[in-house]
Amino acid sequence: MHILKLVFKNSFRHKLRTYLTILGITIAILAFGLLRTVIDAWYAGVNASSAARLVTRNSISLVFPLPLSYKDKIRQIPGVKIVSYGSWFGGVYIDEKNFFPNFVVDSISYLELYPEIVLPADQQKAFVRDRKGFVAGRKLIAKYGWKIGDTVILKGTIFPGDWEFVLRGIYRGRDKTVDETQFFFNWDYLNESLKKTTPARADHVGFYMIGVTSPSAAADAAAAIDKTFKNSLAETLTETEKAFQMGFVSMSEAIVIAIQLVSFVVIIIILAVVANTMAMTARERFVEYAVFKTLGFGKWHIAALIFGESLFITMTGCALGIVLTFPSAKAFGNEMSTFFPVFNVSTETIYLDIAASIIVGTAAAIIPTWRAINIRIAEGLRRIG
């Protein structure tokens, strides 16, 4: 108990130095937490992927379509439970700056395949019945202030023209990892329009989303699908939903690595700040440590004082940094929702903050402790005055 009281008093003996050190640690932990959250957000789609879902696309590229007739053949393959399909629409709301994911899907099978998209039953029925109906996530709704029954017009880029839609449903995510900024509408609406304007593009889809009976059946089902359409005019590439998402993440892998490196540089900066503080503190107290030794205090007591002070300062800054991370992440996530639709501080990030702080607090105290416990009493007392 006396040791803890001494640690607390020693920590605030030089108040300005201590407050500035805590402030520096707080800012560093805040920056580290936000950087790790950005990395988590980058992999949000990968982490939210189901092991029991496959994605089939054209083997050449995602921009090349697949015939709608593949649907029935895929459904007959062993291990396949449900087949849905869709295409990236690429529409723009008012102007180009209003970007959000929008795509066309088979309404009934899509909602069945993705139970994590929670939509009230009455809204789901209204969406399925209305060819022009669309569903949007609640974050997207909050951003643009849409209400059920509102008419929204998107300017087509892949499919030219002004496309009119009616909001029939607002979904929320069952889990925190679900993207709530998406916009999707009925495939029949697009296909019927294409039959009138560009018949060659009708009855084609961008990709198939496939639910399998169990994750263990995924590999065999994927191989069987690709084998079925081998040597056809539109050969397929089937992969797990996670692998499909990773394909997009890998395009920006260099950026992710750079952010990871910066996050570790932040930890090195914290270490330098705390090490400097503890070195100054230990040097100023060599006389006190010599007196403690004359009074019978052992090396472990002195080590406890130095390590305790270092960890107290570091963990105080860590706690403040963690507390500030949540409102900062919320504000950042709202501003960057277009690029990071899922931006949540994970439990793993908090653990990393705490682990990094403990490592820094411990490492910063090693050299000052070694010098303090090895100084001879006579040498320490000679520094008086």
Q: How confident is the model at residue 130 (pLDDT cuts 50, 70, 90)?
A: very high
Rounded Cα distance between 357 and 280, Å, is 20
Rounded Cα distance between 179 and 175, Å, is 9
More confident residue, 373 or 174: 174
More confident residue, 335 or 102: 102
384 pLDDT exceeds 60?
no
309 pLDDT exceeds 80?
yes
Q: Are strands 133-137 and 161-173 parallel, antiparallel or unpaired?
A: parallel
Rounded Cα distance between 340 and 333, Å, is 7
pLDDT at residue 275, rounded to an integer: 81
| Residue 236, phi then psi, degrees to nearest 5 | -115, 160
- The answer on 181 and 74 residing in a single domain is yes
Which ranges constitute the DSSP H helices of 14-81? 15-42, 44-47, 70-75
Q: How confident is the model at residue 89 (pLDDT cuts 50, 70, 90)?
A: very high
- The answer on 170 and 300 residing in a single domain is no
Q: Are residues 11 and 303 in contact, defined by beta-carbon separation less than 8 angstroms?
A: no
Choose the weakest-confidence range: 26-35, 127-136, 242-251, 334-343: 334-343
- Greatest mean pLDDT range, 93-102, 243-252, 270-279, 333-342: 93-102
- The answer on 86 and 117 residing in a single domain is yes
At 330 the three-state DSSP class reads: helix
Query: Quick one: which H or E segment has residue 226?
Result: helix 218-228
pLDDT at residue 82, rounded to an integer: 94
153 pLDDT exceeds 60?
yes
376 pLDDT exceeds 80?
no
- The answer on 184 and 93 residing in a single domain is yes
**Residues 36-48: pLDDT tens digits?**
888 888 887 777 7
* Residue 112 exposure: Cα atoms within 13 Å on the Cβ side: 14
324 pLDDT exceeds 60?
yes
Choose the weakest-confidence range: 39-43, 187-191, 342-346, 370-374: 370-374
Q: What percentage of the chain has pLDDT greater than the value 70?
A: 92
Residue 50 lies in a domain: no
Mean pLDDT across the chain: 86
pLDDT at residue 133, rounded to an integer: 95
What is the mean pLDDT of the segment spanning 283-289?
A: 68
- The answer on 70 and 27 residing in a single domain is no
181 pLDDT exceeds 80?
yes
Q: Which residue has the tokens 């099978």?
A: 109
Q: Are strands 53-58 and 161-173 parallel, antiparallel or unpaired?
A: unpaired
Residue 242 lies in a domain: no
What is the mean pLDDT of the segment spanning 67-72?
A: 94
25: DSSP letter: H
The total domain count for the chain is 2
Q: How confident is the model at residue 257 (pLDDT cuts 50, 70, 90)?
A: confident
Q: Domain boundary at 179, 205, 234, which?
A: 234
* C-alpha torsion sign, points 77, 80, 83, 89: negative
Q: Are strands 53-58 and 207-212 parallel, antiparallel or unpaired?
A: antiparallel
pLDDT at residue 75, rounded to an integer: 94
More confident residue, 98 or 358: 358
Q: How confident is the model at residue 111 (pLDDT cuts 50, 70, 90)?
A: very high
Region of 193 please: left (phi>0), alpha (psi -120 to 50) or beta: alpha
- The answer on 377 and 261 residing in a single domain is yes
pLDDT at residue 286, rounded to an integer: 64
> Residue 14 belongs to what domain range?
2-45+252-381
pLDDT at residue 84, rounded to an integer: 95
Residue 23 lies in a domain: yes
Q: How confident is the model at residue 132 (pLDDT cuts 50, 70, 90)?
A: very high
More confident residue, 304 or 377: 304
**Residues 14-38: pLDDT tens digits?**
788 888 888 888 998 999 999 988 8
- The answer on 229 and 346 residing in a single domain is no
| Residue 148, phi then psi, degrees to nearest 5 | -55, 130
Residue 215 lies in a domain: yes
- The answer on 72 and 40 residing in a single domain is no
pLDDT at residue 168, rounded to an integer: 96
Q: Which residues contact 240 (CB under 8 A, 6 or more apart)?
A: 49, 51, 53, 54, 55, 218, 222
What is the mean pLDDT of the segment spanning 84-107?
A: 90
- The answer on 88 and 202 residing in a single domain is yes
Rounded Cα distance between 18 and 302, Å, is 20
Q: How confident is the model at residue 378 (pLDDT cuts 50, 70, 90)?
A: low
Q: Are residues 237 and 226 in contact, defined by beta-carbon separation less than 8 angstroms?
A: yes
- The answer on 294 and 167 residing in a single domain is no
Q: How confident is the model at residue 246 (pLDDT cuts 50, 70, 90)?
A: confident
Q: Are residues 83 and 71 in contact, defined by beta-carbon separation less than 8 angstroms?
A: yes
- The answer on 206 and 124 residing in a single domain is yes
Q: How far does CA 269 lie from the centroid of its chain?
A: 24
